[in-house]
Structure 1
């Protein structure tokens, strides 16, 4: 294994999950991918992958090579990108994963502007309703909203973001205005399914007082735009991020409920694998992303 090409090939196999998918990504035939894998195993005198019809299962040796090799490839790319930077340009591919709604409304325009400013960088944006459950190795940056679960990822704050309980004026006229979080359990509510969280358990605080309320949700969806639209139509009460409902509140389509009670904040974070040794394109994008949401994010302007 004289250069990084073999490691990159093996990493592509792991990312793809099957020989057919890897062949499609590499622009080769499945037989050519199989032949290259066999040549690599022969060169190393070790079996790296157990092949089946449906999936690839990496051996202990193959897993070790991928884990350590990924760090070596990262260092290799960072070195040459830093050299390229000395010549005045950013290069390479930046792979980003982000939540559906936030990605569409707030992140996509930022990415397009960044790429236009840096034409030698290719940016691949993937939108998902479960960004943290995706294979993190596939992405340079994962944008996450809310509390960060325990992990080895490094988080960078992009923008502050509160969460509000909201309902349409028509619904409030029909059911009345709740005076306490406990009253929400008796009202029609709508929940957003995301990140495998317990989404029907709503938590609030007022000073040192804490309240947890189990709401009854006859409507739920994994798309925030859908539940916001349902709320605007008067179909139920929602607990939603400030970035998503601030404009509807300003226009009077939604009314904030229980303003004296605070739901847990859900700040916008950018997650990376490591703090040191990030490629130049990743560092510059992080700086550009933070600058676009300062001094105030769009939903607070």
Structure 2
């Protein structure tokens, strides 16, 4: 018979590249991991892992155990949560993925406050410049900003977020203010490489007009995958950037940055939460966290920063 402890042990093995890495994750010695794995295989009468000095590889039987075992653990967690929900408790583990800058500024405080209100929930927050590359089964909620490629994922809109073209006052004074999108070809442009988007293709549409959008292919003088770096370059008078409203609102309000081509729209980049369909997307803790996050973003704090 398999126990839930056996399944959790094997899931940790499957997530590791070597037995030594699994031992570190489980906080035990490598011989202890090897001995327990051998015992598990003997009880089941099958080989679960092909071992080599450099890498662990799951056998077909190991893949089956991993797939069905994860499902069983999820079902057990859902059952426990459903029973505890009857007495008003929110429990379980929640893994949240978020972009680096937005996650630090707006998601991390909500995580801490949520954990204080619900001590029966453990929350793991992972910040990444490419959260979309995370393995499908490794997260419950992913915070996404911008164009969404995989429309099959369930999503909930959290907050409106525009994108602005902006630069420092000193840069615009020195190089002039662009009047039309095509003028950007004569300017120093800075690109943020994120979400695997075509970041050198900037698309503008006129406000209160039905004219077709104007597309400009820029040749960035500087580029980075870090939004803080890109904004720092703009603040240091290095060129024009396209950035989310949430990131530049305070700088625009304080005059450190100035909008350019303000009579044009850029495609919006709303903040949304993607729910993993295979990870208890309707679990009470998931919905409770989303409600907390939405409350913290309503109204969007960056709108107040622009007006201050």
Class of the TM-score when normalised by the shorter of the 2 chains = over 0.9
Q: Indicate the residue corresponding to 2:303 in structure 1.
A: 300
Change (3 A) 1:26 1:239: same
User: Which structure 2 residue ranges, 5 or more long, are not aligned?
Assistant: none
SS in 1 for 2:111: helix
Q: Aligned-pair distance for 1:114?
A: 0.9
Bigger shift: 237-246 or 76-85? 76-85
2: CA distance between counterparts of 1:203 and 1:67?
43
Query: 1:55 and 1:263 mapped to 2: Cα distance?
Result: 47
Matched with 1:284 is 288
What is the distance in 1 between the residues matched to 2:12 and 2:175?
55
Residue segments in structure 1 that go unaligned for 5+ positions in a row: none
Q: How has the CA–CA distance of structure 1 residues 258 and 9 changed in structure 2, closer, same or farther, with 3 Å as cutoff? A: same
Kept in 1, the 8 Å contact 2:140–2:281? The answer is: no
Report the alpha carbon displacement of residue 71 of structure 1 after superposing the two structures with TM: 2.2
Cα 1:37–1:239 shift into 2, 3 Å: same
Over 3 Å counting, the alpha-carbon distance change for 1:254 and 1:277 in structure 2 is closer
After superposition, residues 1-301 of structure 1 pair within 5 angstroms as 1-150=1-150, 152-206=152-206, 207-274=210-277, 278-294=282-298, 296-301=299-304
Q: How far 1:242 sits from its partner (Å)?
A: 0.7
Deviation at 1:89, TM superposition (A): 2.2
Give the CA RMSD over aligned residues: 1.9
TM value normalised by structure 2: 0.90
CA drift at 1:57: 2.1
Aligned-pair CA distance for 1:103: 0.8
Q: Deviations for 1:165-200, whole angstroms, at most 9, x for unmatched residues?
A: 111111111111112222212210111122333222
Cα 1:174/1:49, change in 2 over 3 Å = same
Equivalent pair of 1:15/1:138 in contact (CA under 8 Å):
no
- Tell me how many residue pairs correspond in the alignment: 300
Structure 1 residues 44 and 211, CA, compared in 2 at 3 Å: closer, same or farther?
farther
Residue 217 of structure 1: SS of its match in structure 2? coil
TM-score, with normalisation over the residues of structure 1?
0.92
* Mapped contact 1:187–1:216 kept (Cα < 8 A): no
1:133-156 superposed Cα distances (whole Å, 9 cap, x missing partner): 122422222211111222653222
